[in-house]
A and B are shown apart, each in its own frame.
Chain A
Amino acid sequence: MWSMITRQFMTGIVTLLVVITLTFVLLRLLPGGPFDQERALPPAIKANMEARYHLNEPLWAQYGYYLSNLVRGDLGPSYKFKSRNVSDIVADATGISARIGLIALIAGTAAGLFLGALAGIVRNRFWDGLLTFIGVSSISTPSFIFGGCLVLLFALTLRWFPAATLSSPKHYVLPILTLSLVPFSYAFLLIRTTVREMRHQQFVQIKRSFGLDEGRIALRHILRNSLLPLVSILGPITAAIITGSFAVEFIFAVPGLGKHFVTAVSNRDYTLVMGITIVYSVALILFNTLTDIVYGYLDPRFRESTKASE
């Protein structure tokens, strides 16, 4: 178990280095700098600005500065918002994105788990058809389409919920609903497949032959064993929520990480782009590691095999 966590941790470090290096190189190779504006700055001022941010030094030196600051937890100054540094902006935005993301993760997964298990168990043709339709539609709908339609229906037509920003609890409903679509569809499809397969497995057949009723078999035996695969896709769900957050924050004008990333890319705000990329990478690595630990803990086969090898 410990050896696996260490291995996971090492992969995380390597991944983080790859992310930092890749974004750094890509950003510096991009045509145009952060101080290229429509009206050209006087050369002296531009030179001074570049000197202040070390932009006049060779690439490897800039990389060195960046890494050494990073180790101290300093993401550097924002090139665009001169009064704030990247760490502050990223901290604010992370709070917002994480709040919406976590609620959506829990709500979506729970709903998907419930309906997916139901879809795996029902034998009635009508219900099976309906639930399958819901599942396939949910995986086939991009977040921006779902969010756009929700706004059109609930904000512009029915006027039940506000359409944008996050100024009151009511404002959170539509963004969270939109973002929970992805965890819902992932959990739904995976649980449905697992429950279906489980139904035919030997131990379930045996329980059935003992005369246990179907409802009890479903709850106590099938569902419990189906949770394992769900844990294993926690990483992909997190990744998908990150992807979804771009569309959701764009639609609902939420000042989260995704929104800042898009503006920072067009502003060529190198340090801000790097900062957000690093935060998202750390979140992904964290969830992947967590997945593996929980998985290792839950799966008895896994526990046995690692114990034997230690």
Chain B
Amino acid sequence: MRYNALFGLGLALMVVALYLVFIYAPTEKTMGDTQRIFYFHVAIAWVAFLAFFVVFVCSILYLWKRAIKWDIIARSSAGLGVLFTTLVLITGPIWARPAWGVWWTWDPRLTATLVLWFTYIAYLLVRSYAVEESRGARFAAVLGIVAFVNVPIVYLSIHLWQTHHPPELVSDLGTSMLVTLLVSIAAFTVLYILLLVRSISLVKMEMQIKRLAQEDARLNPRKE
């Protein structure tokens, strides 16, 4: 019941966001209509960082309490984080090409996002390549903590190395643009929560199937 209510809210927010982004928000004077992708790009980036923060917190909780539910949340959130980061890395260049003339620059935010993407791909890989599931969960939790701590350091070191990303636009935004951005962020956050809930229940079902299969194998040993 709660899920359906949340789904309805998310759907409504997304429809409103689409309207705001494409119709309500004024056309930006220097970049024109291509600027509209900014509302999605920033919202998705925000959600990606939120997802990794969730991974960080759940990793600590898992190593501390050893309750499997924290690992389930962490793994689902990490998968979503990788998905959303991939979207950021795709929408970014789509915007960059008409706006700056280049697909990519090695400036702090882009490079830090790319590094973040790599670390969380590694998170997913270490789970698949682990010898057993519980070990994979532990290794992933350690990586989740180390990787998140690393993010500000990566950002800082690249920032000292080069600067190219457009400065923070939020302070410059007119109210209509700010409203559009906030609604977009809200819509994507609700989307993230919905996907997370779905993903967690999927993982739980997989675990149950595995348990049932093991029970079945134990009770009905196949005669070779």
Decide if A and B are genuine partners: no
Binding site for A on B (CB under 8 A): none
Binding site for B on A (CB under 8 A): none
